[in-house]
A and B are shown apart, each in its own frame.
Chain A
């Protein structure tokens, strides 16, 4: 399966935080010959036999996506919701959403000009009403409190290399890890025991990474996620789309490990960018590094435009190069 098709498959799947079982199963299907374990929304994949002489590398990509959770139905059949993750609220007026496992379409209410209150900024979660086109009685038959609500647009290519889709944060990272694993599996000589973690709940508590890092107990962790790409209004420290993965350097990461990645990139001619995050990283690395006696970690981030909207944008080139860099690190 080529990378775009893989990305399409991953981004079409649901999996708002706390509801990751389906996406775990989809990804597990990519590893028919490996030991896979699904635990509480986390998928753990062991690449090859465990060798006690070798250090263990955990490669993490979170697989949960932002969305909403139904909190109540109004007397007129509209839904009230709560936030899961930091959705960009600016995209919500008149946005199309999908409710529950059946993905019932809904439209977020927006006030027409004669009612709009220019001071009612920002668009607050408490003001959101979702129009599902049913009265309360019909809606109650189809929708339950606790159902997840997806912000979802089809995965599409804007150009040969550039893809727009929902949940590229962090299905783009997951695609890079899956691609890297394929490369590692096709080369029998692994320098490390490699364990993949497709983790749950990064967007709300980082719970998946916390509990799984404890269970896996790695020596080294590579945290693969997305980061801000430069676009109108963003500052110069953002990544350049199609500039290659961003290798993180941060007080909370292991600088020697970061340097090692930059050296590999130079040696193997893989384009990379440096991402400086002075204290913490805002990724699962923040919790993995302080797990069970501490873990040395580096972040590898794919530049992404329009984070936490329904149409995030990434470059396939950047995902491929991320996979290549990971594979080069893991191979003898």
Chain B
């Protein structure tokens, strides 16, 4: 796993419908390896890498470029901003975070804890009670630098820590983008479409629009790990350090049974650590991709990740390597399926 490249990807700002910075970065870094490369009307970056030898198998590899974020909805008289989430961000994990709004630094703030009634303290976190302070003291000054509709992102914060761990915003799904960027540089056994998709976080809209000329698809994603003390094993969903997550079903898709078996077998044959989810939870672009073009046989290979959709997603480098290796081996395995 090229951690330096992943760090660059995670530190870019690009939410649903605003993926340009991510797309431009990927485009520049892969164009030399692509036989065909194009951007469709929804911003999907679709590239084709042809195999040297002839093969009739067509595979699509997908990852989504967008991260969760926010959008400015109004400017208050005191110069602070009201905002709403773009994608599934839980209000619980937003207060106090450093953010970037159209290039300006800001802090998500609220009334001081000291001044809240007991009832207010017990109420669920609510975006209505939060505003973003960008250091302007009135709306006139704020309006000079901020427009309604400007996007808000958690500030770039990638770190390596502990024993081979990383923490950052946007690991979901810049990790998948990093895997695709790495694999497109390799020699492949069949024609592979590398699709960097948009708008996953607001309903897999990039995947729905994308035209993918393929019979098989591998979705490279991140998925929930709740593997901490006090959580019963069956509720952990996946475990950090447990290897690549091979999906059989989630809330969006039932995966191709045969590909699921091939994926497990491929992992075992290559000594790649793998796990499945202990719950039917989450969902990803497979929900849209498996329905496309008369049906694409789809599997998902995911990175177990703690605290998804927060400013500090946490993942383990050994799991990243497992996902990357398994994805590469699965291209070979699918090519052999014919």
Contact = CB atoms under 8 A, between A and B. Distances in A.
A258 interface: no
B95 A91 contact: yes
B122 A121 contact: yes
Contacts of B164: 133
Interface string B118-130: 0001111100011
Central interface residue in A112, A153, A309, A311, by most chain B CB within 10 Å? A112
Interface string A103-136: 0111101111111101001100000010111110
A75 B123 CA distance: 32
Nearest to B227: A76
A232 B135 contact: no
A308 B113 contact: yes
A1 interface: no
Nearest to B88: A113
Contact of B159 (A94, A105, A116): A105
A114 B112 contact: no
Nearest to A307: B112
A187 interface: no
A88 B162 contact: no
A4 interface: no
Contacts of B130: 232
A182 interface: no
Interface residues of A, number: 60
Given A96-B157, A109-B306, A309 B135 contact: no
Contact of A308 (B112, B137, B224, B237): B112
B336 interface: no
B90 interface: yes
18 contacts: A78-B228, A90-B95, A90-B96, A90-B110, A90-B113, A93-B90, A93-B92, A95-B96, A105-B167, A109-B307, A129-B228, A131-B228, A158-B134, A159-B134, A232-B129, A232-B131, A234-B111, A311-B98
Interface of A: 74-76, 78, 86, 88-91, 93-96, 104-107, 109-116, 118, 121-122, 129, 131-135, 138, 153, 156-159, 161-162, 164, 228, 230-235, 241-242, 305-311, 313
Interface of B: 76, 78, 80, 88, 90, 92-93, 95-98, 104-107, 109-115, 121-125, 129-131, 133-137, 157, 159, 161-165, 167, 224, 226, 228-231, 235, 237, 279, 281, 306-308, 310-312, 314, 316
